[in-house]
């Protein structure tokens, strides 16, 4: 196969493409990685009779380059390295895509957490790890903290929440809320059970989750049954309504998805941090 840099405007996703869903998911992380380390794996294309190129594998890499080029027009992201194959039909194209995909198994959440933890142990700097991996500093910090949580939580993420990122968030929040330490009075089982209850409460309402968290912070040594009783006594949080334009709403939704939260949870977190700074 010929290796060549091709202008982005000459590349097109055709009907031969296999990937049709989740193509633009988490492009921020991929873009950050490409900007930090460069394009590690060229995309695969074939040349059409009109001089344009159709992508066989690498849609997300193309979208990441388009994003980088829009944000950094003078930094050379207007071209992408491609492996050019001979002309092919739709069935061969799908076979090529699947073959390439099978050689790149996705990293599990456990793999990502372990990688961040190993790098942090070496460099002892969240910012360095974030730059090296292309993962945001907030997530790196969360993953490093998770790597030091009770093994019961680490081994049972799927029982806390079906979304791995949400499960990590809930595990960290439960540990922080109860001020768990390996040699302290709080058991691993209690932290695990609280993390699951946090997840259940969030499914019901954000208000119920907030009340349970406050009750656990105020009564960490009480039983979970007693903590739930105390949470019922807490006054309901006050609600405010705000209106976001379409652009800001999309930014909020993207950030929430990235951190495994709902848009409401992400917005609440932003405002709480902002108000804390105003104290």
- Please write the tens of the pLDDT for every residue from 45-84: 888 888 888 888 788 888 889 999 998 888 889 999 988 8
Q: Quick one: pLDDT at residue 177?
A: 94
pLDDT band at 37 (very low <50, low <70, confident <90, very high): confident
pLDDT band at 130 (very low <50, low <70, confident <90, very high): confident
Indicate the angle between helix axes 224-233 and 188-204, nearest 10 degrees.
40
Domain spans, the chain:
2-102, 109-239, 240-279
- Using a cut of 0.95, tell me whether the model's pTM lies above it: no
pLDDT band at 106 (very low <50, low <70, confident <90, very high): low
Q: What is the pLDDT of residues 133-192, one digit of tens each?
A: 777 888 888 889 888 888 899 899 889 998 888 898 899 999 999 999 888 999 999 999
Q: Quick one: pLDDT at residue 19?
A: 47
Distances (CA, A) of 171 to 143, 168, 176, 197: 11, 5, 9, 11
- Name 89's Cβ contacts closer than 8 Å, sequence gap at least 6: 16
Tokens of 17: 């493409």
Question: In the beta sheet, which residues pair with residue 46?
Answer: 54, 85
* Closest to 11 measured CA to CA, from 112, 116, 95, 84: 84
Q: Quick one: pLDDT at residue 89?
A: 57
Average pLDDT value over all residues in the chain: 83
Q: Is the pLDDT of residue 18 over 50?
A: no
pLDDT band at 200 (very low <50, low <70, confident <90, very high): very high
Q: Using DSSP, state whether 140 is helix, strand or coil.
A: helix
pLDDT band at 213 (very low <50, low <70, confident <90, very high): very high
Q: Quick one: pLDDT at residue 194?
A: 96
- Name 172's Cβ contacts closer than 8 Å, sequence gap at least 6: 142, 145, 146, 149
Q: Quick one: pLDDT at residue 93?
A: 58
Q: Quick one: pLDDT at residue 279?
A: 66
Q: Where is mean pLDDT largest: 26-30, 113-117, 215-219?
A: 215-219
Question: In the beta sheet, which residues pair with residue 2?
Answer: 84
Tokens of 256: 């929430």
Q: Quick one: pLDDT at residue 101?
A: 53
pLDDT band at 206 (very low <50, low <70, confident <90, very high): confident
Tokens of 5: 């840099």
Domain 2-102 is found in CATH 3.90.1530.10: yes
The H helix count followed by the E strand count for the chain is 14, 5
Minimum mean pLDDT among 23-27, 120-124, 131-135, 168-172: which range? 23-27
Tokens of 235: 């006054």
Q: Quick one: pLDDT at residue 216?
A: 95
Distance CA 207, CA 277 (A): 23
pLDDT band at 272 (very low <50, low <70, confident <90, very high): confident
Task: Say if CB 62 and CB 13 are below 8 A apart.
Answer: yes
Distance CA 38, CA 244 (A): 35
Question: In the beta sheet, which residues pair with residue 43?
Answer: 82
Q: Where is mean pLDDT largest: 160-164, 204-208, 209-213?
A: 209-213
């Amino acid at each position: 196969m010929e290796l060549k840099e091709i202008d982005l405007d000459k590349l097109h996703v055709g009907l031969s493409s296999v990937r049709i869903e989740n193509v633009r998911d988490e492009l921020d992380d991929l873009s950050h990685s490409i900007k930090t380390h460069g394009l590690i794996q060229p995309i695969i294309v074939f040349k059409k009779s009109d001089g344009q190129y159709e992508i066989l594998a690498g849609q997300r890499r193309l979208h990441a380059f388009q994003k980088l080029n829009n944000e950094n027009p003078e930094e050379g992201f207007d071209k992408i390295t491609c492996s050019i194959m001979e002309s092919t039909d739709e069935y061969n194209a799908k076979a090529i895509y699947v073959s390439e995909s099978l050689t790149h198994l996705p990293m599990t959440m456990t793999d990502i957490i372990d990688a961040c933890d190993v790098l942090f142990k070496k460099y002892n700097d969240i910012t360095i790890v974030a730059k090296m991996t292309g993962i945001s500093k907030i997530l790196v910090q969360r993953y490093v903290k998770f790597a030091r949580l009770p093994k019961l939580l680490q081994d049972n993420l799927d029982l806390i929440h079906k979304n791995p990122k949400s499960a990590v968030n809930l595990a960290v929040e439960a540990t922080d809320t109860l001020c768990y330490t390996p040699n302290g009075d709080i058991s691993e089982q209690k932290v695990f059970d609280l993390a699951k209850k946090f997840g259940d409460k969030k499914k019901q309402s954000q208000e119920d989750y907030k009340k349970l968290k406050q009750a656990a912070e105020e009564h960490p040594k009480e039983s979970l049954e007693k903590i739930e009783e105390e949470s019922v006594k807490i006054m309901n949080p006050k609600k405010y309504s705000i209106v976001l334009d379409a652009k800001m709403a999309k930014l909020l939704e993207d950030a929430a998805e990235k951190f495994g939260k709902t848009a409401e949870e992400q917005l609440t977190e932003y405002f709480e941090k902002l108000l804390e700074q105003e104290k």
